[in-house]
Amino acid sequence: MTMELVFIPSPGIGHLRSTVELAKKIVNGAERLSITFIIIPQSSRVSTNDSSQVSSLFTPSQDRLRYETISVLEHKNPYPFPVPPQVFIEHQKPQVRDTVAKILVHSQPLLVGFVVDMFCISMMDVANEFGVPTYLAYTSNATFLAITLHIQKMYDEKKYDTTELDESVNELEFPCLTRPYPVACLPRLFLSKRWIPFFLAQARSFRKMKGILVNTVADMEPHALKFLLSPDGDLPRVYPIGPVLHLENGCENESEVLRWLDKQPERSVVFLCFGSLGGFSEEQAREIAVALDRSGHRFLWSLRRASSNVLTEGLGDYTNLEEVLPEGFLDRTLDRGKVIGWAPQVAVLAKPAIGGFVTHCGWNSVLESLWFGVPMVTWPLYSEQKVNALEMVEELGLAVEIRRFIKGDLFEGEMEIVTAGELERAIRSVMEEDSDVRNRVKEMAGKCHVALMDGGSSKTALRKFIQDVIDNAVV
């Protein structure tokens, strides 16, 4: 009898891509397992483009990897702010329950568990109804997971509340780090009375999981994993199975941008790209342009226009760059740089011409940069990215910082302006040949590749997860 896992990723193509890659590794490693994804659209108005992006990740040849898209239930928003993703997901439990029931009636597999995204933990209730365990697919890193769990524990034990810290408290001790963490670098979500209840509830549910798959490498976060894997703790089993990356480029190989990169010398181009939500004001765009102009380095800059509400409106492109950027900038840099809109990030990072990466420090971007051996300049914009940036710079020495603390959060209002001088200094530093940072990144890239080979730490952890799923199955 076929054993069936149900995967429930968060809405949005970003989380889905890496989760599908994880699922492919699982079915390739276990002939007895098949996987069905329950796709939850971001709203009831699903665009043709969204549907085609999802379908492109699944091919008919993958007969043990399928997906079902539900029709989402819309509810009136009771909050004076956008509905938290956890709440939106919880409203979809009836639809998910019905879809899973139909799968079981149709093909009659043995359901052996749910694998849910970090924002879909309420689906544990549905898994419990079917009498199967729930596993967490944690798409960020071990350090942020450990910090989240520690802050929740401190709050529940009434030792401290990060939203009410005394002004004299400048640092916090986290057992997953080798040094004190500056309070000024805490992500906004831990300081906001609006959002902290949702993340505390999330962390409490993490502790109830049967196991947690973390997109990291044992050699990259040994201190955090030692904390998470401690036999004296009360945490589920943790499986460090990364890096899980979506590296397929498709038709992007034919783009003019990539052909331009093929003509540039090795490690000569600095790449600036800030994810699907990273847009900038005209003032900030001008500061970046001045930094690139003064640095003298070749560059590829993915510039998107800031939105007043990025979650509801998304990003756009500037229609006339000459009106936004400093006078003469495009002419002066014509032979050594390109300013573009959306960029095929993975395909760009894979090019030998790329020598440095100015990034918002989303975890997928960090892993992609390390995979291709490209040192980073950290420019965190929202969510857990301040933790990622501090880890890359101070814990691991794999990146250069613009400034230790950049005030603001993209989701909570305007970001503090980064000056041309600060960015120019960081670019010059990251592009330095044979620097300590560049050499450490090259070494870490090697460890990431080895981890996924036979006998590597991540491949071994994934095999252990598969065996545990099979052993936990109720026959």
Q: How does pLDDT run across 103-119, given as a tens digit for each residue?
A: 999 878 899 999 999 99
pLDDT > 90 in the chain, percent: 77
Instruction: Count other Cβ atoms within 10 Å, centred on residue 405.
Output: 15
pLDDT at 46 over 70: no
Q: What is the pLDDT of residues 116-128, one digit of tens each?
A: 999 999 999 999 9
pLDDT band at 249 (very low <50, low <70, confident <90, very high): low
Query: What is the β-pairing status of strands 181-182 and 237-240?
Result: unpaired
Q: Taking each helix axis as running N to C, give the angle between helix 282-295 and helix 420-430, from 0 to 180 degrees, rounded to the nearest 10.
A: 40
Q: What is the pLDDT of residues 124-172, one digit of tens each?
A: 999 999 999 999 999 999 999 999 999 999 999 999 999 999 999 999 9
pLDDT band at 52 (very low <50, low <70, confident <90, very high): confident
Q: Which two tokens stand for residue 35?
A: 């996987």
pLDDT at 475 over 90: no
Q: What is the pLDDT of residues 281-299, one digit of tens each?
A: 999 999 999 999 999 999 9
pTM of the model: 0.94
pLDDT band at 474 (very low <50, low <70, confident <90, very high): low
Closest CA to 431 of 361, 359, 377, 372: 377
Per-residue pLDDT, 456: 98
Q: Which residue ranges form the domains of the chain, and what is each CATH number?
A: 3-242+455-472 (3.40.50.2000), 252-448 (3.40.50.2000)
Using alpha carbons only, how large is the chain's radius of gyration in Å?
Answer: 22
What is the residue-averaged pLDDT of the chain? 92
pLDDT at 49 over 70: no
pLDDT at 254 over 70: no
